[in-house]
Structure 1
C-alpha cells in the first residue's frame, strides 16, 4: 500500500513535518510494510517556509538564511528566509517577521502592528541578488495593508503636516500623501509571486479587517476604524499607481499585505497551496498512491478559499486517489469539503479535551487516529 502523507502544520501544536511523521508512526503500527511518502505542505501561512526547506534536496536545494528584523511591535527578532542560488529566488515568509505567534494574546493590537520586518527581509533578499521573490502570506498579526513593508522599502507615508506617519493600520486614516521617490529601484525588475491562503478582498464585509481583524485584537469599533483606514490607503495608492487593486481576490490576505504585493510590487497572487504543491511535485507523487492523508488545525467553510486540506484533496481527486482529512476541530461549513474531493473527515479527539491538553498531545492523537483509520481500511479491503 502506498500513502501520501501531506499535512499542513497544526497551529500552535505541531509543524507540518512532525505532523507527517506522527501520521506515519500510527500507520506503521498496523501496516509496517506500507510505502509512506512524507510530504509536509503549507498554504502560505505560518510553516510554509519550513515545509519547503524540509522538502529541499541536492537536486533542488534551498538554503536557510536569517536576518535581524523588527517584529510586529518593533522589537528585534531573528527571522528565517530561504535562498535558491541557482534561480536567484528568495522565499520570504511573512509570519517569520510579522506573525501572530510572535505576540502574546494581551499584546495583540491590530491598530499598531506593522509589517516593517517583512520589508527588511525583502531588502535582505535584494542584497543577496534576488531576481525572483516568493512571499508567503498568512498567520499575520498585522492589519496595515502592507504599508510597513513598503516603508522599509522606501515608500514615505505622510500626514497633512508632511510628517511621517507612525507604524500600523490605524495611522493610515491620517494619510495625506504618498512619496514613492525613495522606493528601492531594484524592485522594478524583481519578479514577485505571493502565496495566499484566502481569497478575500482588501476592504468591506469580506475584507481583511472584518474577517481576520478580531483574531488580531480588533473589536467591532476597531474593525470599522481599520477598514476605513485601509480604504483610504488604497484610494491614495490608486491615485499614485493609476490602478485600483483593492477588490482583487487575495488582496485581503495577511491584513492587506496581498494588496501591497499586487499594487506596489506588481506581484502575482496565487493560491499558496497550489504554488507549494507545484514546487513539491505533488501531482506526480500522487501517481500510484492508494490514499492521501492531509489535515491541519481546523476545517470549516472558509477552508475552501485556499487552505491546505482542500487543495491537497482536489489534487487527489484529479489523480483518482481517495483523500482523508484529519482536523483538530470542525466548524461551520466543514461539510462542503466533501464536494472538493475529500472522502472522509476525522477530528483528532475521541472525547472532550481542554485545548491546552490537546495541543500538547497532537502528535499522539494524530498517530492514534491514523492507526484507527488503517484498521478500518484493513477491514474494508479484506477478502
Structure 2
C-alpha cells in the first residue's frame, strides 16, 4: 500500500490574548510565524477571539466589519477616560465594560474597591444608542467595580435613595444605604433596546461564590471587609427585587463584573450568555471549520477553570463538531488539565521552553510563542504521517 500523497495543510488560528503580554492578534501572528517554519506554504486563517473580556471588540469588528467608535466617559473614580466600542453592520453594538470601568484604570486599594462605579459603562451604552444601536452586547470581563451596576443605572436616570430621600454615594459603599430605587426617570430608549451580557463566569450576585467574596479581593477589598460588603450587596438585591420584581441574588452570572450582570438584568432586561459562545457565533468561526486541517487556539494560562466557558475550550468544542484536531498554545498551565482534554483539546503546548520568571516569560513572548507554534505544527504532521503510513 502506497502512502497517501502529501497535501499542504490548512491551519486555523483562534487564540485569546495572553493578558499582560500580547493581544489575540499579536499571538496569532507569532503562532503563524512558527507554523510557517515547518510548512512555509501552509494556508493560515486567523480569527482573534475573546470571551467577553479584553479584545472582545477587536475580535468581533475584525471578523464582522463595522465601525470603531470612541466616547469620553467617567472612569471608575470619575476621571475622564476614552472608551472604544464597535458598531456592527447589522446595527448592533459591541462594548467591553472594562474600557470605561476596568481594573487596569485604577490602583487596587480598599478605598478604590469601595468607591469604583460603572457610571461610565452607562455613558458608553447611551452613546451607542445615540449612534443608532438597538441591540447591545456587553462584555463583562476585567472590572474594577463592585457596585451591582448602580453606576450604570444612574447614567440612565435611575435614582438610588437613602432613608432621607437623598442620593446614595457611588460604588459598593452606596449599596448599604439604599432604601428606595426610583426608576421613573430612566431613559425610555433602554426599554426599547435589546441587551446581551457576555461573561465566562456563572457566579451569583451574593454569597460565598458571589461577586464580593470571589472577585472583591483582586480589586482591593480586604478579607476583613468581604462579609460586610456581601451583606451590603444582599441588601441591594433585596431592594432591587422589591422595586423591579427581579430576583438577581442567586442568578448565575449576576455576579460578573462586580454585579454589573445583575444591574443589566434588573434595569435593562438583559440576557446573560456565555461570552465565548456568543463571540464565536458573531464571528462565524464554524463557517471555516470544514476547510481546515488543524485548529490552534490558546490563552495566557490554562487550568481547570479553562473548561468552564473559557475561549480555548469554546473553540475546541466547535472544532470537534467537525472532527478537527485542536492544539492549545498557552503561556502557562496547571499540572492537571484532565477537564480541558475531556472538553475537546487534544494537546497543550506551553510557550515556556525552560525555567523563567513571569517577567522573563513576558519579555520573551516574541521568541517563545513561535517556538510553541512550530511544536504544534510538527506534532500535527507527526500524527498525520503516522496515520497515512502503510501498515507493516
Question: Shorter-normalised TM-score: what interval?
Answer: over 0.9
> The residue matched to 1:206 in structure 2 has which SS?
coil
**Of the candidates 97, 101, 107, which is equivalent to residue 100 of structure 2?**
97
Equivalents in 2 of 1:296, 1:96: separation in Å? 20
**Residue 190 (structure 1) shift:** 0.5
Matched, 1:123 2:131: no
**Of the candidates 281, 286, 307, which is equivalent to residue 283 of structure 1?**
286
Matched, 1:174 2:177: yes
Tell me the equivalent position of 1:21. 29
Matched, 1:64 2:68: yes
Equivalents in 2 of 1:300, 1:145: separation in Å? 28
Contact 1:202 1:256 in 2 (8 A): yes
Equivalents in 1 of 2:377, 2:336: separation in Å? 27
Matched, 1:46 2:54: yes
Matched, 1:257 2:260: yes
Matched, 1:221 2:224: yes
Matched, 1:153 2:165: no
Contact 1:108 1:141 in 2 (8 A): no
CA deviations 1:23-69 (Å, max 9, x no partner) are 1111111111111110110100111111112223xxxx310000101
Equivalents in 2 of 1:359, 1:214: separation in Å? 25
> The residue matched to 1:287 in structure 2 has which SS?
helix
Tell me the equivalent position of 2:83. 79
Matched, 1:234 2:237: yes
Tell me the equivalent position of 1:5. 13
Tell me the equivalent position of 2:362. 359
> The residue matched to 1:350 in structure 2 has which SS?
coil
CA deviations 1:175-217 (Å, max 9, x no partner) are 1111111111111110111111111111112112222222111
Pair 1:159–1:106, CA change in 2 (3 A):
closer
**Of the candidates 372, 376, 382, which is equivalent to residue 375 of structure 2?**
372
Equivalents in 2 of 1:376, 1:242: separation in Å? 55
Equivalents in 1 of 2:110, 2:226: separation in Å? 17
Contact 1:117 1:149 in 2 (8 A): yes
Equivalents in 2 of 1:34, 1:191: separation in Å? 42
Structure 1 unpaired stretches of 5+: none
Pair 1:5–1:70, CA change in 2 (3 A):
same
Equivalents in 2 of 1:293, 1:378: separation in Å? 13
Aligned alpha-carbon RMSD (Å): 1.7
Could you say which structure has the larger radius of gyration?
Answer: 2
TM-score by length of 2: 0.92
Equivalents in 2 of 1:42, 1:362: separation in Å? 19
Equivalents in 1 of 2:235, 2:336: separation in Å? 33
Figure out how many residues of one structure are paired with residues of the other and give that number.
Answer: 378
Equivalents in 2 of 1:331, 1:205: separation in Å? 24
Equivalents in 1 of 2:151, 2:349: separation in Å? 40
Equivalents in 1 of 2:91, 2:231: separation in Å? 39
Equivalents in 2 of 1:73, 1:228: separation in Å? 23
